[in-house]
């Protein structure tokens, strides 16, 4: 009888110690979080995924639509960043103009990372601005082609 009482107390003390340790130290996930959202307000920006070669469409979405207007349905959708899940470091090079407010540059994105945010320049023409992704082949799903960013009213 005494033996069962000792075992019961030991189990109870061990359970309390385990709960205390978990409460004190917690359980922290090791999931990599994306970079913080654009600090200019609620994040409604576009994230374009750069996929491994052979994925269709690649990138996804193939044409990114950004909006200039004050339409409540699209307000705040005026910035973009890319997420590189292709398995290799990539460089984006715009070939038909630069649609952003930031200084024109090639955009280098290491494996698994996100690029910085790029904000649509509201003074630029409403058109599609094409770009290349080196070294990952792009494909809209119906043959080779260049992806693009489209500025819309």
**Among 59, 64, 78, 58, which Cα is nearest to 148's?**
64
How confident is the model at residue 58, as a pLDDT? 92
Phi/psi at 71 (5° precision): -60, 125
Phi/psi at 16 (5° precision): -65, -40
Taken in order of first residue, the domains within the chain and their CATH numbers are 46-152 (2.60.40.420)
Residue 62, both tokens: 């193939």
Contacts of 95 (CB under 8 A, 6+ apart): 130, 131, 132, 146
Reduced to 3 DSSP states, what percent helix, strand and coil does the chain have, rounded to the nearest 5?
15, 30, 55
How confident is the model at residue 64, as a pLDDT? 95
**Among 66, 34, 69, 53, which Cα is nearest to 148's?**
66
Beta strand residue intervals within 2-147, DSSP E: 46-50, 63-67, 79-84, 90-94, 107-109, 118-119, 128-134
Q: Do residues 77 and 44 make contact, with C-beta atoms less than 8 angstroms apart?
A: yes
How confident is the model at residue 39, as a pLDDT? 47
The pLDDT tens digits along the chain (153 residues) read 566 666 566 656 665 555 555 454 554 444 455 555 544 455 679 999 999 998 889 999 999 999 987 677 787 789 999 999 999 999 999 999 999 999 999 999 999 999 999 999 999 999 999 999 999 888 887 666 789 999 988
């Amino acid at each position: 009888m005494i033996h069962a009482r000792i075992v019961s107390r030991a189990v109870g003390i061990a359970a309390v110690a385990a709960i205390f340790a978990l409460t004190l130290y917690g359980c922290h996930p090791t999931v990599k979080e994306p970079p913080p959202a654009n600090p200019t307000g609620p994040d409604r920006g576009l994230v374009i995924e750069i996929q491994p070669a052979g994925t269709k469409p690649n990138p996804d979405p193939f044409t990114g639509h950004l909006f200039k207007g004050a339409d409540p349905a699209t307000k705040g959708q005026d910035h973009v960043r890319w997420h590189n899940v292709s398995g290799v470091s990539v460089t984006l090079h715009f070939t038909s103009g630069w649609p952003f407010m930031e200084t024109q540059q090639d955009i280098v994105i290491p494996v698994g990372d996100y690029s910085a945010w790029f904000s649509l320049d509201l003074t630029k023409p409403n058109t599609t601005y094409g770009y290349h992704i080196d070294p990952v082949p792009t494909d809209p799903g119906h043959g080779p082609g260049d992806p693009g960013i489209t500025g819309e009213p």
